[in-house]
Every structure is written in C-alpha cells, then in structure tokens.
Chain A
Amino acid sequence: QKEVEQDPGPLSVPEGAIVSLNCTYSNSAFQYFMWYRQYSRKGPELLMYTYSSGNKEDGRFTAQVDKSSKYISLFIRDSQPSDSATYLCAMSPDRGSTLGRLYFGRGTQLTVWP
C-alpha cells in the first residue's frame, strides 16, 4: 500500500461545475499538505499549501485537511476549461530539513469542457 492514495480519474465536468479532488494517506506523521497542478509536459505548479487540519481558501480554490481521518480535499469552484490538468496531492512529515522531501499521490486527471 502506498503512503498516499489518490484516484487517478479521469474526471470530466462541465464548465462552471464544482470539482472535488481528494487524497488519503496512511502516515500520521504528515503535517504539511500541498496541492500541485500539472499541465501536460510541464512541471508541477504549487496551488495550495496548508499545515495540519483545517481549511484554506484562495480565490476559487479551497483546501481542506482532516488529520483525524487522514483525508485531504481540494475544491475548485466555477471550474474553467483552463483548469484542465492533472492535480497532485503531496505531503511532508515536518517543516525541518525534509519539507522538500514530498510524498505525492499519483494525480487526478481533470477535464473541464465548455
């Protein structure tokens, strides 16, 4: 079993829909949680960065972390065709020397059609 599980999709939604993406994890030491967006043939781009449990909102994006359930989510409101990409969750056990030593999910491929 991988430490971070993520449904690869694909997920296809109409423009304007609310998108829900999620990951589960098994390592209770994870403290920092990130969502990256990756367009085809490009590197991952950081979208959201949260610490421990709770919610964080940035424009149309909301990240939620539930450490008791070992479950994280990313919500995209008013989705746009430009949101079509692969979304990767990533997590790290601490903010010390290994924050950059990330554990990634396999990514969920999202298509938003006009």
Chain B
Amino acid sequence: DTGVSQDPRHKITKRGQNVTFRCDPISEHNRLYWYRQTLGQGPEFLTYFQNEAQLEKSRLLSDRFSAERPKGSFSTLEIQRTEQGDSAMYLCASSFSVGQGDSPLHFGNGTRLTVT
C-alpha cells in the first residue's frame, strides 16, 4: 500500500504529557497537511507544508502544537502539555502541486488521541 501512513493509530496519554505523531505521505507528493477531527465533526485544517517549508498555520494551532517536516519527506506533529480538549483524530493528508495546480488531498487513517 503506497498511501499516506500514520503512526501510531491510537495514543492514550495522561493530561500534561507530551505526544508526537508521525506521518509518511505518498512518496511523490510535495505538500503535506495536518487536520484535526473531533467526534461528529468534519476535519479542521491545522497546518500545511510544501516540501520542508511550513506555509500556513491555523489559529487552532496553539503554541503547544508544533509540526515539522525535515527534508520534505515525513512529518511530525507534537503536542506539549496535553489537555483533555486535545482528544481528537489527527489526520495527515498529502497532495502534489506543480505551479498553480494542486491535486486533491489523499488522507491517512489518522492517529486517535485520547487524553485522560
């Protein structure tokens, strides 16, 4: 399977702990996105990268959140000092962009975070 891969699938942590998630995009895709989805809601945009550059961040991305994409390949999303409100599915997606064009997003199966 050469789709978007996310690890771990499920993470349970105690409030106040730090967590890190990993996303491996489709290999030829140069754009990578992070979304958050809470129960009964649609995904909400958090941030995106073109290659290794982080180009946009949502106001949902508080200073406890940090994302990186070293070398323009895989990406990590870290949440520091987790709160119960951080409990959600964290989705990664990737796309291919050339010039002004951009292919539709392909999503991974997400990392489900539970903060107790």
Contacts and interface: CB of A to CB of B under 8 A. Distances in A.
Contact of B44 (A6, A96, A99, A104): A104
A49 B104 CA distance: 8
B55 to A, nearest CB: 7
Interface stretch (B12-20, B69-77, B106-114): B106-114
Interface stretch (A40-48, A52-60, A61-69): A40-48
Contacts of B109: 41-43
Nearest to A98: B56
Contacts of A88: 42-43
Nearest to A44: B107
A10 B102 CA distance: 33
A46 B93 CA distance: 11
A100 B95 contact: yes
B21 interface: no
Nearest to B93: A100
Given A95-B100, A95-B101, A100-B95, A43 B108 contact: yes
A96 B55 CA distance: 13
A100 B100 contact: no
Contacts of A34: 104
Q: Which 4 pairs of residues, A with B, have the shortest CB-CB distance?
A: A104-B42, A43-B107, A99-B102, A43-B109
Interface of B: 4, 31, 33, 40-45, 48, 50, 55-56, 91, 93, 95, 97, 100-110, 112
Interface of A: 4, 6, 8, 34, 36, 41-46, 49, 88, 90, 95-107
